[in-house]
Amino acid sequence: MITGERIDALIETLGQEVGKSLRLRGFTGGYVATTGENGSGVMGDSGDCDEEETLASSSLHEDPEIIHSQAHELTCRFLRQLPHIRDLLRTDVEAAYEGDPAAKNFDEILLSYPCIETIAIQRCAHVLYDEDVPLIPRIMTEWAHSLTGIDIHPGATIGSHFFIDHGTGVVIGETCVIGNHVKLYHGVTLGARNFPKDAEGRVVKGNKRHPNVEDGVVIYPNATVLGGKTTLGAKSTVGANVFLRESVPPLSFVSTEGERLIVINKITGETVEQIVNEED
């Protein structure tokens, strides 16, 4: 039985870890803001850390009572999301069972499928990411990446009934939005088409870079879909080894033919579009 005391202890433990992370954000963020906007980190141009400057800037963020209160509130909000995460994971297990004829039962999926381990970690990390918790979400998903070979950024938004068959080599970027009942195979990349730069030549951060995948889409092995303006319409299928940088309408089947991509309507069988990939 989970008692009130155990819940309080869990909140306290998680709160301490979040508090450490919040202090680190104040520490590094204050120093970077002081030394410039080039994202050079905690090291100066000479490679040495200016201790006095660092401590002075970090002290603005070091009120222990405020940090503890923020960490406690954030941890409570995270714990309140756990039932919803559990419900989503139940749909992921169902999708794996329905989508893999080799799956014998739910227990086998829960205990042995790398996609379930990865998505469980990512769904938890995503909640923390949305709460603007630094470091911890990315550490979580990179740990999952090292275990399973599946790389899903904590910022990616993923709907219910999500299944990655096999999984090795899958990459899903930070601003990717995935609908419900989506299935991916190994080697799929949902990535950025390019990286816009500002007037000083620095990469612009925070913009939409990764594709939208609507409900019911299936993407076969080693397909690559790039771009923040790219949308895969609902119930579309992307064939193996496709390299796609443009949106396709719902109910499309996308396949490769030489250097061309052929987009066929799955209902009528008519060719909707022929795409020739060109360099940006």
Chain segment 119-133, per-residue pLDDT in tens: 999 999 999 999 999
- CA 13, CA 7: separation in Å to the nearest integer? 10
The burial class, CB within 10 Å (0-12 / 13-18 / 19+), for 37 is exposed
3-state secondary structure at position 214: coil
Map out the domains of the chain with their CATH numbers: 1-35+43-150 (1.10.3130.10), 156-280 (2.160.10.10)
List the structure tokens of 3.
Answer: 């008692």
List the structure tokens of 13.
Answer: 């433990």
Instruction: Please say if the pLDDT value at position 233 is more than 60.
Output: yes
Chain segment 63-108, per-residue pLDDT in tens: 788 888 888 899 999 999 999 999 999 999 999 999 999 999 999 9
Considering the chain, what is the average pLDDT of its residues? Answer: 85
DSSP letter string over 48-107?
---HHHHHHHHGGG--HHHHHHHHHHHHHHHHHHHHHHHHHHHHHHHHHHHH-TT---HH
Chain segment 144-174, per-residue pLDDT in tens: 999 999 999 999 999 999 999 999 999 999 9
Q: Percentage of the chain surpassing pLDDT 70?
A: 76
Q: For position 67, what pLDDT does the model report?
A: 81
Residue range 27-47: mean pLDDT, rounded: 42
- CA 170, CA 97: separation in Å to the nearest integer? 20
Q: Are 199 and 215 in contact (CB under 8 A)?
A: no
pTM of the model: 0.80
Q: For position 273, what pLDDT does the model report?
A: 78
